[in-house]
Amino acid sequence: MPRTALPPETLVLPAPAKLNRLLHITGRRPDGYHELQTLFQFLDHGDTLTLRGREDSELRLSPRLPGVAAEDNLVVRAARLLQAESGCRRGADIHLAKRLPLGGGLGGGSSDAATTLLGLDALWGLGLGLTQLARLGLALGADVPVFVHGHAAWAEGVGERLTPVELDTPWFVVLHPGVTVSTPAVFGAPQLTRHTPPITMARALQGGAASWRNDCEPTVRALYPEVAHALDWLATRAPSMLTGTGACVFARLDSEAGADCILAEVPEGWQAFKARGLNRSPLHAALGR
């Protein structure tokens, strides 16, 4: 059967997931935000955005995400911000195929925003550089810049100060235990570790994956027994860890076959997928950047 041709001026682009391979909380700022040190890595799994240019200035997103008003969606916010900053009078029809769970710690909304910024920059012929697009992305969320720059990174500050790194690229199994974790609740918890001594990027990389941890994990375990159960279940099969503030947890595997074995045993009621770690974002590969 012949493939259906896409309409002119249409881009179909990935919005990949990320993992926090390491996450340290080194302090709390006067504005309430926390100082972090983390290692971001992309996965070859995520959402997909289809963007089609319009000659008018309307922005139409489909379908609507349950419980998320259209104007609150980071895709729409990113598109409006790009219009405002560039003065572009064109619009777009945007279709979001959502595969990543909301609030899972995989950066789905931030990745969607970054794909929107880079995709519309290309579609509208704006020619903005990554530095400028990352600056716009930071106004939308601390995780957006790493998706804009498109390379695995050591990050500091609130996650916006990025240094590209080359990490190992194993297979991962990612589990979502079916609960929603409140990031404000985790960062506001009195028992959260907030004063891990800062380390250098070189020391973190030298220590390797066996020494990496997530400072949010003990607090999330205490607040969300379902996440604790998922971590414990996964840890009996491979080294496991929380990503971000969760609810997703992940295990590092040396082979795809090992990932398949774990997926075959996942209890009913949990979402799970396998993915390969990537140091270059598939979004940048798709756009040739």
18, 47, 121, 274: which one is catalytic?
A: 18
Residues in the chain: 289
| 62 is known to lie in a ligand binding site | no
Which is catalytic among the residues 47, 112, 143, 215?
143
87 is in an annotated binding site: no
Closest by CA to 174, choosing from 120, 137, 227, is: 227
Q: Tell me if residue 143 is catalytic.
A: yes
Q: Check whether 184 is labelled as a binding-site residue.
A: no
119 is in an annotated binding site: no
Question: Is 32 known as a binding-site position?
Answer: no
Confirm or deny that 150 is annotated as ligand binding: no
In whole angstroms, give the CA distance from residue 177 to residue 192. Answer: 22
110 marked as binding residue: yes
98 counts as catalytic: no
- Is 107 flagged in the annotation as binding? yes
Question: How far is 20 from 245, CA to CA, in rounded Å?
Answer: 10
The pairs formed by 150-154 with CB atoms below 8 angstroms and a separation of 24 or more are: 150/280, 150/281, 150/283, 150/284, 150/289, 151/279, 151/280, 151/281, 151/284, 152/39, 152/40, 152/41, 152/42, 152/278, 152/279, 152/280, 153/39, 153/40, 154/37, 154/38, 154/39, 154/201, 154/204, 154/205
- Determine if residue 102 is labeled as part of a ligand binding site: yes
Catalytic machinery residues: 18, 143
Give the annotated binding-site residues.
Answer: 101-111
Numbered residues of the known binding site for ATP:
101-111
